[in-house]
Amino acid sequence: MPTMPTDWTPRETVVISGAAGRIGRSIVPLLRRPGRMLRLLDLEIPDAPREDYVTWHRVSIEDPDGLTAAMRGATAVVHLAGLASERPWRDILRVNIDGTHNVLEAARANGVQRVLLASSAHAVGFTPVSEAHSATVLPPRPDTYYGMSKAAVEALGSLYADRFGMSIVSARICTFDEEPGDGRTIALWLSPGDAARLVEAAVALDDGRHHVVWGVSDNAPRWLPLEAGHEIGYHPVDDAVSFRTRRDGVAPAWPDPEVLLGGSFTDAAHPVGGTW
Ligand SMILES: NC(=O)c1ccc[n+]([C@@H]2O[C@H](COP(=O)([O-])OP(=O)(O)OC[C@H]3O[C@@H](n4cnc5c(N)ncnc54)[C@H](O)[C@@H]3O)[C@@H](O)[C@H]2O)c1
């Protein structure tokens, strides 16, 4: 294992909130680069082996001072922390919306210009898949308080880009997993490799604008357009159909597009404000 020279100054420092979560754990190893320091934040620090160029910090996104200190000298922020499914209104407000505001404020106060915000397909969950082909960004149509909070996250991203000239990407992440599952997740899969490619595009972006892109792999024959992603330099290479065909020796059934993007989050079995 390389040893960090004592006089080493990183070329860039990328802060990742919620780094101990499913996506963070999976992509952090893919984001290591010469000259890059990864500063990882979460509520609990995992029992991981110590690695050069990677530091862990116990910081809540509900703690503005802790965040401001954690972002000192950073060049980019990848904001993954939050409640990743439906919760009561107060919790969603406190963690997902106030928490994102705290992250953006800490970034602004430290002059951090590049930010990736983890939005979700649930920000537009009540949109029929058949209407999602257009390259125009879909307006909010949340399926839950969770989805509403992601629409608010996007609105905050837009505000901070327009007001403060920050380059911000709101990624409408679809279904992240190590391997594609069945049914609709064949069309909505985001692979770890493509999630890392999306992060790389966002931390390199420097146009002072806000972009809403799909956080999805290139799953053919595609439910979702990739143009907005291409515009920021995100070029996914993984494909759920070829992955499954390679793995199983048979192509998976492509899902019926006569459904809503939010899938089961739009069901009566998933009440607004409930927990599951
Ligand atoms: N996994 C997916 O398929 C998917 C899809 C759409 C959007 N997203 C979004 O991507 C992000 C990451 O998703 P994930 O699957 O890794 O979720 P996850 O629940 O596995 O991880 C979230 C992490 O955030 C941390 N966290 C929660 N509250 C915090 C706080 N107050 N301060 C600091 N850290 C806190 C948790 O400890 C956890 O490690 C989330 O914002 C989620 O909404 C994920």
User: What's the pLDDT tens digit per position in 107-151?
Assistant: 999 999 999 999 999 999 999 999 998 878 999 999 999 999 999
pLDDT value, residue 134: 82
Three-state DSSP state, 3: coil
Give alpha helix (H) positions in the chain.
22-27, 64-70, 89-91, 99-109, 145-164, 185-188, 192-204, 227-231, 240-248
Residue whose C-alpha is closest to residue 118's, from 33, 207, 223, 27 = 27
Distance CA 161, CA 156 (A): 9
> What is the average pLDDT across 215-230?
96
Give residues with Cβ within 8 angstroms of 122, minimum separation 6: 142, 143, 144, 146, 147, 150, 262, 265
Confidence of residue 51 (pLDDT cuts 50, 70, 90): confident
**Domains, the chain, ranges and CATH?**
12-266 (3.40.50.720)
Structure tokens at 59: 């910081």
Q: Is the CB of 98 under 6 A from ligand 1?
A: no
Phi-psi region of 53 (alpha: psi -120 to 50; beta: other; left: phi over 0): left
- 225 near 186, Cβ under 8 Å? no
- Give me the mean pLDDT over the 76-88 stretch: 98
| Pocket of ligand 1 contains residue 118 by CB under 6 Å | yes
Q: How far, in Å, is the centroid of ligand 1 from the Cα of 253?
A: 30
Task: Identify whether the C-beta of residue 102 lies closer than 8 Å to the C-beta of residue 61.
Answer: yes
Q: Which of 53, 145, 146, 234 is catalytic?
A: 146
Q: What pLDDT, on the 0 to 100 scale, is given for residue 6?
A: 62
* Sequence-separated (6 or more) residues with CB below 8 Å from residue 216: 173, 174, 188, 189, 190, 194, 224, 226, 236
The model's confidence at residue 1, banded by pLDDT at 50, 70 and 90, is very low
Asked about 146 being catalytic, the answer comes back as: yes
Average pLDDT value for residue range 94-115: 98
Q: 205, 17, 188: which is closest to 104 by C-alpha?
A: 17
pLDDT over 60 (residue 2): no
Please answer whether residues 102 and 68 qualify as being in contact, where contact means their C-beta atoms are separated by less than 8 angstroms. no
